[in-house]
Every structure is written in C-alpha cells, then in structure tokens.
Chain A
Amino acid sequence: DQQVKQNSPSLSVQEGRISILNCDYTNSMFDYFLWYKKYPAEGPTFLISISSIKDKNEDGRFTVFLNKSAKHLSLHIVPSQPGDSAVYFCAARGRRDDKIIFGKGTRLHILP
C-alpha cells in the first residue's frame, strides 16, 4: 500500500512560470514531510521540509504547502529555471524515530 502518492509521473513547465508538484498521503500519523530533488546518476538532495504544525514553509524559490485535512502537500517553484529539471520525491515520516517513506517521484521538465 502506497502511503505517499505522487500521482503525476511527469510535469512540463515553461521556464519562468510556476511549477507545482503535488503529493498525497494516507497515514494521518505522519508529522514531518520532505521534498528531495534527484538528477540522473546522483543521489537525491534535500530541498525543503515542513512540520505538521505548520501549513507553509518557504526557502527562496521553493515553498511547500501542507493541507492536513486533505492529507495533501505541494511544492511550488517560482520562477522555474532550467536547472530545476529533475525528479522530485515527496517523503513523510511518522513519529520521531520512524522510517521515512518516499513517493515514486515526479519528473519535472522545464521548457525553454
């Protein structure tokens, strides 16, 4: 059973526009959420996280929004740049010492 779901395998966005990547989760016990970015032939790199006590966290061009009632989070990238083309993984964690569960990823293509 997929507890963290990224329903869009891929997304194409024009350079300079906003990219919105979505993630849904099923486990109401998750209390910490993360986004990772992965280039080919490299390991994932941490982008941004959010605790369940917040509904928004911003870091430069990246903002993560959390809607606990809908069990949904999203990553906004504004403005999108060519270097943002990568696979983005959403991840979630339950109690403090629990394992981190990853979604299957969304491949983002930034078009010139």
Chain B
Amino acid sequence: KAGVTQTPRYLIKTRGQQVTLSCSPISGHRSVSWYQQTPGQGLQFLFEYFSETQRNKGNFPGRFSGRQFSNSRSEMNVSTLELGDSALYLCASSLASASTQYFGPGTRLLVL
C-alpha cells in the first residue's frame, strides 16, 4: 500500500505570494491533518479534514486554509506569505479522525 505523498517536496516563494501544497493520503484513509514544523517549535497543528469537512483547527491566522476533495486528497493554501511561514509542512492521514496518523515526507517551504 502506497504511503502518504506530498507535492511539491521543496518550494521557494517570496513575501506576499501565495502557495498551495498537496497531500494524497493512504488509500482508504479519510482523515487528513496538516502540521507546521519549525525549529524549536515541534509540530504545530494547522487543521484536520474528514470526509471533506474541517473537523479541527489550530491557532493559525486565516491566511492558512485548506480543503479536502471527495477522493480524500487535501490541499493547503497559504496566502500573503510572510518570512515566518518558512517551515516544513507535514500532512498525516488516518483511517478515522485522530486515530494513529501516518505522515508524508513533508513540503519544505522557504519564503524569501
């Protein structure tokens, strides 16, 4: 069974731009969660989608948004990028909401 895939793996953007990251969960998994990892901050929860509905949301500004499609694939969008948005963005899928999660390799975003 294929694991969680994320595209692109690396991305360089400039301040003010927007970016869309994609995540394909493990086949059969209906829950997708997104996390931001920065040095010294661990994994900070962004949001979780289950069956195309946002189930939980972390403490991030409205510039961070996401969606999930009927095939469970998910996208995350960050608008008006700031230097502090430079981070590793991780996607995790699970069979059900908040059950054991399986992570993708992440997308490393650099904002210049």
Contact B42 A98 (CB under 8 A): no
Interface of A is mostly: loop
B55 within 8 A of A: yes
Quick one: CB contact mask for B85-112 with A, threshold 8 Å, 1 for yes? 0000010100001101111111000000
Most chain B CB inside 10 Å of its own CB: which residue of A6, A34, A104: A104
How large, as a class, is the contact surface on chain B? 20 to 34
- In whole Å, how far is A25's beta carbon from the nearest beta carbon of chain B? 13
CA of A42 to CA of B92 in the docked complex: distance in angstroms? Answer: 12
Q: Contacts of B103 on A, CB cut-off 8 Å?
A: 36, 43-45
Contact B98 A103 (CB under 8 A): no
Answer yes or no: B48 CB below 8 A from chain A CBs.
yes
Chain A stretch 44-95: residues in CB contact (< 8 A) with chain B: 44-46, 49, 89, 93
Residues of A within 8 A of B (CB): 6, 34, 36, 41-46, 49, 89, 93, 96-105
